[in-house]
Amino acid sequence: MEKRCPQPGYRTPRAKHEVTGRRAAWHSLRRLSTLLLACLCASGVSAVAQQESAPGTGKTGLKPYSTVYKTTARGLSIKLRRDLTIDAEGHCRLTSEGSLLVVGLSEVSRFSLTEGRVEPHSYIYQGTGLISRRREVHFTSGSSVIRSLYKDEWYALPDVGHTLDRMSQQEQMRLNLLSQDPAPEEMVFTVADGRKVKDYTLALIGEERLQTPMGEVDTLLYERQRDTDERLSQLWVAPDWDYLVVKTLHIEEGKTIEANLISAEIDGVPVTQYVAS
């Protein structure tokens, strides 16, 4: 009997299922990373203005940390590791890495700390494995233009005033929270992402005590404000742990993605032993 060969470009059902699974894994990993970076903040005034006008609280600024987050998205278990390093001159490097099956991601944000303010330098996102995608955002001091690489094309974005990248915005949020007591009801961040410069709005919902692998911890719950009710994004930060993100929740089209902090050290000290300044 003559054996038929598949036509060029034809995928067997199994191969098609594997490709679909890999893409689902990549999108889940990308979504988790986005949750940890993008559930942020706005009000009628800028975050910088809020911080500069806030009375001193005696709290210190950012400290190096190492964290690991775990989530289950679309039935897939994912772990992301995030580390912040700071040198003696205040130059910071924030990294985030994760992998799932045969795909992965790596993100690096470089910025400086000047008088309690994040000054971004660059952001690079690199997909690894079977799905390789790259994004970049570059800031030039004194320039009104931000260079952004998105889908292999460079864009010139306007720097409208203290514009951040997707990762450094989280550290600016933590700086604002560390400098204000009580915690702000709302904050604002302007972020260069892809082809656009966007504002993010987050409102304080309340307080909640969470159970974590490191023990119970008191948290503040913030919710991202949107024009539609079709999506919900929330994050919980722990004041006793220098406002590290402890949990994120995203619901869209009936699908839920939840990320939880499972391990953390601040300045080389486990959070179970850490005493906030």
> Is 106 among the domain residues?
yes
> Is 202 among the domain residues?
yes
Distances (CA, A) of 21 to 28, 30, 75, 144: 10, 14, 11, 42
**CA angle (125, 91, 78) in 5-degree steps:** 35
> Is 4 among the domain residues?
no
Q: Tell me: cis bond preceding 182? Omega within 30 of 0 counts.
A: yes
CA distance 116 to 121: 16
Beta carbons of 253 and 230 less than 8 angstroms apart: yes
> Is 263 among the domain residues?
yes
Range of the domain at 188: 14-269
> Is 276 among the domain residues?
no
pLDDT score at 164 = 96
Residues of the chain with pLDDT under 70: 1-60, 227
Tokens read off for 169: 């915005």
Distances (CA, A) of 77 to 25, 27, 143: 9, 13, 42
Number of domains in the chain: 1
The residue assigned the tokens 């204000």 is 180
Structure pTM?
0.79
> Is 274 among the domain residues?
no
Residues 6+ apart with CB under 8 A from 61: 113, 116, 175, 178
CA atoms in the 13 A half-sphere facing the CB of 116: 20
pLDDT score at 24 = 54
pLDDT score at 172 = 94
Residue 119's DSSP bridge partners are 112
pLDDT score at 58 = 34
> Is 277 among the domain residues?
no
> Is 39 among the domain residues?
yes
pLDDT score at 161 = 86
